Amino acid sequence: MCGIVGAASLRNVTPILLEGLNRLEYRGYDSAGIAVLREGQLQREREVGKVAALESLLEQRAVKGQLGIAHTRWATHGKPSTLNAHPHLSNASVAVVHNGIIENHEPLRRELEAQGYRFHSDTDTEVVAHLFHYYYATTTHQQDSLNEAAEPAQRLMAAFRATLGRLHGAYALGVLHIEHPDSLLCARMGSPLVVGEGSEEHFIASDPLALLQVTDRFIYLEEGDHALVSRDACRIFDTAGAQVDRPIVRFEHGDQIAEKGDYRHFMLKEIHEQPRVLKATLADKVSDEGRLLASVLGAEAEALLDRVEQVQIVSCGTSYHAGLVARYWLEGLAGLPCSVEVASEFRYRHVVVPNNTLFVTISQSGETADTLAALRFAKRAGYLATLAICNVPGSSLVRESDLRLMTHAGPEIGVASTKAFTTQLLALLWFTVLLGRKWLGEQRLAELIADLAALPAQIEQVLALEPDIAALATRFASKHHTLFLGRGPHYPVAMEGALKLKEISYIHAEAYAAGELKHGPLALVDDDMPVVTVAPSDELLEKLKSNLQEVRARGGQLINFICEDAGLEDGEGFHNLKLPKVSDSVAPILFSVPLQLLSYHVALVKGTDVDKPRNLAKSVTVE
């Protein structure tokens, strides 16, 4: 949430910063700001709303310079307003941008107010600006590990370290001081930050995507790292203040720079990318001869997996729904007991860890604060090993887990997750098959691998039904509440469908296991409440059909996603969308796609901001 970008260059950095903000906007979009150093002056401009509003403002102001920082905000402390927008200044000499939450901002604020500092915002971030100003003003020139550096840089670093030493909570920071027109300070604790290396220029950003227009070479700061970045150098220090080398990594998705192309929204583009990215996700996991390639999980994976007796999955939001589907697979296909929990609950629970339990996190971003905290907790709790299923190679979750299983969805920009979900499901089914390989027998194994390989083409067929789904969507536009029903693994698919609809159309949607309907929610059903069912032709279909009749008998309007052979026809209150019949194992993946399209088209009819729904942001890096 929120986005940081910074640059030290010989050229004017303002266009680089604005382009970076545009690329980061999906991470937070309630206000934006920029601070640039020029000829001993700190110029700062901020505006409420999207980055375009800041761009319009800058057309009227000459904000230029060779060193600068910028920010797009998702409000935590203090409402969206110009005063609360970043960068925050102290005494017109320090500028700070921040992602995360400074948990001890209240006592720090009182302390700084007692020192005479005046606060101009309601944010937790402003304390960082004043604290740094205070330490810079009071720090004597100290010797430290910057032996080769000039004395003023030592003072700058000493003040920065003193500041960081006072902060509790999570942060990625970018900091400027007016007396150091060549130096950009940055730090990472609980919130991601990268340094980008250009030709005689350096950049910082909370996400490499922000800088792909200027470089594809990145250094991922580790937890507790801080750095002194200038045009021609980048020196990184660990928590103890020792200078460290971090590898430079080339960005893998450089050829897929996130552009909408001919699509009206990123979400639609990402829905339509699913056949391609599902194929890519499978490609490194199954050989041409149909052999499972366990080595993608990391060295020694196979021997370790043989010891797994249970699986604990922890994740958030859409990734949690992927975990819930996987439980049906792991128990049904691999015979392994599996628990699934949302990370925000798991991390504060006193868990009992059964022997030989594999701890699995699922995350598109790999930076979700609760999931990361759950992983760190699990590493101390006695699990057999940790596995991250993730879409971002250099992310914290991937780096901190013993094993990794990469999805290859490519950058997902729409806040509502689509292709990340289906690639997670595919990776989870592959992983289930791998865990159950000895159990399943050769023939079943071969069938499951063939199911996975056939899926991209089947999803193409579903995408071709978009006009029919768009027509169904018109039934929703004027509604305020919707029920989604499913059974078995299609219950979590229904949960994901309900989440999609809420996120982007703001229609209240709840998912129920269809068998639970008569235990309460049936009371809500009337002809003003559409009921969406996820009803593939599996062993539970006949039971589900009875649930549909229960709804219809109360006047409910049913929208059923069914297979061609379901034996259900359109009629009064029955609106069916027929999908190709696929094997039970992959049906949850296939049936997710029409629900994504349904939400998208409902949002279009309602005219909401599909890619940037209100109050939300991509990648939730605060608790």
Q: Cβ 500 to ligand AGP, closest distance in Å?
A: 7
DSSP-derived pairing of the beta strands 357-363 and 310-315: parallel
Whether 346 and 375 have beta carbons less than 8 Å apart is answered as: no
Cα dihedral 363, 364, 369, 370 sign: negative
Nearest to 197 by CA among 208, 206, 188, 186: 208
Identity of the residue, 76 or 371, whose beta carbon is nearer to ligand AGP in the bound complex: 371
Burial class (CB in 10 A: 0-12, 13-18, 19+), 110: exposed
Identity of the residue, 131 or 378, whose beta carbon is nearer to ligand AGP in the bound complex: 378
**532-556: b or e for each residue (b if 16 or more CB lie within 10 Å)?**
bbbbbbbebbeebbebbeebbebeb
Whether 14 and 34 have beta carbons less than 8 Å apart is answered as: yes
Instruction: Determine whether 618 is an active site residue.
Output: yes
Question: Does residue 167 interact with ligand AGP by CB under 6 A?
Answer: no
Q: Cβ 317 to ligand AGP, closest distance in Å?
A: 2
Burial class (CB in 10 A: 0-12, 13-18, 19+), 160: buried
Question: Does residue 497 interact with ligand AGP by CB under 6 A?
Answer: no
**506-519: b or e for each residue (b if 16 or more CB lie within 10 Å)?**
bbebebbbbeebee
Q: What residues are paired with 362 via a beta bridge? A: 315, 389
Which of 50, 269, 500, 618 is catalytic? The answer is 618
Q: Cβ 298 to ligand AGP, closest distance in Å?
A: 20
Question: Does residue 123 interact with ligand AGP by CB under 6 A?
Answer: no
> Helix (H, G, I), strand (E, B), or coil: what is residue 551?
helix
Q: Cβ 201 to ligand AGP, closest distance in Å?
A: 30
Q: Cβ 540 to ligand AGP, closest distance in Å?
A: 26
Q: Cβ 190 to ligand AGP, closest distance in Å?
A: 15
Q: Cβ 499 to ligand AGP, closest distance in Å?
A: 6
Residues 6+ apart with CB under 8 A from 357: 308, 309, 310, 311, 312, 383, 384
Identity of the residue, 9 or 319, whose beta carbon is nearer to ligand AGP in the bound complex: 319
Nearest to 313 by CA among 303, 304, 321: 321
Question: Does residue 31 interact with ligand AGP by CB under 6 A?
Answer: no
Identity of the residue, 8 or 493, whose beta carbon is nearer to ligand AGP in the bound complex: 493
Burial class (CB in 10 A: 0-12, 13-18, 19+), 157: buried
Judged by CB under 6 A, the chain residues 413 through 472 that form the site for ligand AGP are 415-417
Identity of the residue, 437 or 612, whose beta carbon is nearer to ligand AGP in the bound complex: 612
Q: From the list 225, 466, 503, 623, which residue makes contact with ligand AGP (rule: CB under 6 A)?
A: 503
> Helix (H, G, I), strand (E, B), or coil: what is residue 7?
strand
Question: Does residue 21 interact with ligand AGP by CB under 6 A?
Answer: no
Judged by CB under 6 A, the chain residues 35 through 64 that form the site for ligand AGP are none
Which residue in the shown chain puts its C-beta closest to ligand AGP? 317
Neighbours of 309 (CB within 10 A): 12
Candidate ranges 136-144, 191-199, 412-420, 484-492; the one touching ligand AGP (CB under 6 A): 412-420
Identity of the residue, 172 or 316, whose beta carbon is nearer to ligand AGP in the bound complex: 316
- # chain residues binding ligand AGP, by CB under 6 A: 15
Identity of the residue, 19 or 503, whose beta carbon is nearer to ligand AGP in the bound complex: 503
Token pair listed for 221: 């700061």
Whether 340 and 313 have beta carbons less than 8 Å apart is answered as: yes
451 phi/psi in degrees, rounded to 5: -60, -45
Write the DSSP string, 283-334: HTTB-TTS-B-GGGG-TTHHHHHTT--EEEEEE-HHHHHHHHHHHHHHHHTS
Write the DSSP string, 379-425: HHHT-SEEEEEES-TTSHHHHHSSEEEE-------SSS-SHHHHHHH
Identity of the residue, 486 or 613, whose beta carbon is nearer to ligand AGP in the bound complex: 613
Q: Cβ 401 to ligand AGP, closest distance in Å?
A: 13
Question: Does residue 621 interact with ligand AGP by CB under 6 A?
Answer: no
Question: Does residue 206 interact with ligand AGP by CB under 6 A?
Answer: no
Identity of the residue, 65 or 410, whose beta carbon is nearer to ligand AGP in the bound complex: 410
Residue with tokens 């001869």: 289
Which of 2, 186, 338, 390 is catalytic? The answer is 2
Token pair listed for 379: 């590493």
Q: Cβ 363 to ligand AGP, closest distance in Å?
A: 3
Nearest to 209 by CA among 387, 399, 391: 391
Instruction: Determine whether 338 is an active site residue.
Output: no
Q: From the list 195, 597, 620, 622, which residue makes contact with ligand AGP (rule: CB under 6 A)?
A: 620
Judged by CB under 6 A, the chain residues 302 through 331 that form the site for ligand AGP are 316-319
Burial class (CB in 10 A: 0-12, 13-18, 19+), 410: buried
Judged by CB under 6 A, the chain residues 326 through 385 that form the site for ligand AGP are 363-365, 368, 371
Active-site residue set: 2, 618
Which residues of the shown chain bind ligand AGP in the complex (CB under 6 A)? 316-319, 363-365, 368, 371, 415-417, 503, 619-620
